Structure formats: C-alpha cells, structure tokens
Amino acid sequence: PVEQSGQPLYGQQKLHVNQQNLQRAWDVSQRTTRDDWAEWMRRFAVQLLREAPSPALRACADLAQAYPPLARELFYAAFVSCWFELIDQYQENLVRSLETAFKSETIPPEILQTLLNLAEFMEHDVEALPIDIRVLADLAQKCRA
C-alpha cells in the first residue's frame, strides 16, 4: 500500500511502471485465432506482473511466465496495481483494447469470462472501468454469466 503522498507504507518502495511495455502487451490487433487470444491473455497477464508497481507482484513475474496458472490467479491484482499508475491516455487505450476484445468473433469464451470478471471485480472492489454497461451486459449474456 502507498499513501496518497506517494510515500511507501510498511517500508515497501513503489516501482516504476513502463506504460509503453504494457501497451504493447494489451494490444489486441492481429488476434485472429483461439491460440492468438490465449497467447495474448498469457502475455498480458505476465506483463502486468512484470510492470506492477508492487515489489511482491513483480517478484512473481518469472514464476508466472513458467507457470501460467499463477499469472491467471494474480491477473486482477496485477491489473489493479498497474491501472492506477497509467496516465489517462493509456487508460483510454487499454479500455479501447478491451472493448475490441469484447467484440471479437474469435476470442474464446473463457477469456471473455476472465475479462468480464475483471470488469466486475473493478466495479465492486476498486472503481468501475469506463466501459458502457450495455457492452458488459451483452458480454455477460454471451458468456451466460
């Protein structure tokens, strides 16, 4: 945790987030097959850990690279950790990428469900992502959530 002043609590230093590296990871262009989407999700989850401002999350990146279930387990925490470090332009770009993913005809249902769960997690526990509720409702129906 970090106080609003940017000073670390509990002696943990907040690490720098490379927003351009994250943007490359969340880019959904060129995703046309189920395998493309699976690789995108895996890479995005690991990159969130690599760039997380939390030393504890960042320390998990190499293990998550080797053991994908860990990347999936830490996805929401890593997303939240990075989200607040992104300047508005990058937040808007990330939301556009998520919306593009939602509209894809080739994205696997389990990845859609993960993204829907992320939006729900953000809305209940953090702050709602700026995504039209109708888009999320359609997505939920598509996933039968």
Tokens of 129: 């992502």
Sign (positive or negative) of CA dihedral 35, 139, 29, 18: negative
pLDDT band of 92, cuts 50, 70, 90: very high
pLDDT above 60 for 6: no
* pLDDT at site 5: 46
pLDDT band of 12, cuts 50, 70, 90: low
* pLDDT at site 1: 46
Our CA dihedral for 15, 18, 21, 24, rounded to 10 degrees, sits at 120
Claim: this prediction has a pTM higher than 0.75: yes
* pLDDT at site 144: 73
* DSSP codes, 14-44: PPPP-HHHHHHHH--TT--SHHHHHHHHHHH
Listed residue (65, 77, 60, 62) closest to 121, CA to CA: 77
